[in-house]
Amino acid sequence: MMHIVPKQVNGNRSLTAIACVAFLTVIFAGACKKKIESSVTDRLMNKWSLVQLIDSAWSSSGLAPMISNYEGKTGEYLDFRKDGKLYSYYNKTYDTAQYTYSEQNYKVNVRAHKYNILILTDNTMIMYEPRYSTSSSSGDYSAYKITLSK
């Protein structure tokens, strides 16, 4: 009777398997690295296309809110520059204004407007400004919401 004896396992075979596992680990670890997020300044300082401007007003009288919706047109923009100037064009009007911003608080101040930055990604920015009336009717409230894209 003849017995079949398996050939001796090559000693390099386990080394090859270890090398493959190590290589795959390096590849996956590199692919899983967290993308370095750009700063608020890097994302804000751009020319943004105007997508939408919503002006809303609520009254303490209990009437339905008045909402004005402006859809941005081709070529309308807000351009935040590093020199502290905001160049804009919308509703057939060019304008330049000084602005300040806070990276820590996600706020942008343009003239009398004090916007909270709700969303700021590499491609989208949404700014919102709530305003409460200082008159005797304490329930009056208005808000501006600006949606921008790149």
Q: Would you kindly state where each structural domain of the chain is located, as residue ranges?
A: 40-149
Average pLDDT, the chain: 80
Task: Tell the CATH topology of 40-149.
Answer: Lipocalin (2.40.128)
The tens digit of pLDDT for each residue in 4-58 reads 555 555 555 555 555 544 554 555 555 554 556 678 888 999 999 999 999 988 8
Give the pLDDT confidence score for residue 20 in this predicted structure. Answer: 46
Buried b (16+ CB within 10 A) or exposed e, 38-61: eebeebbebebebeebeeeebeee
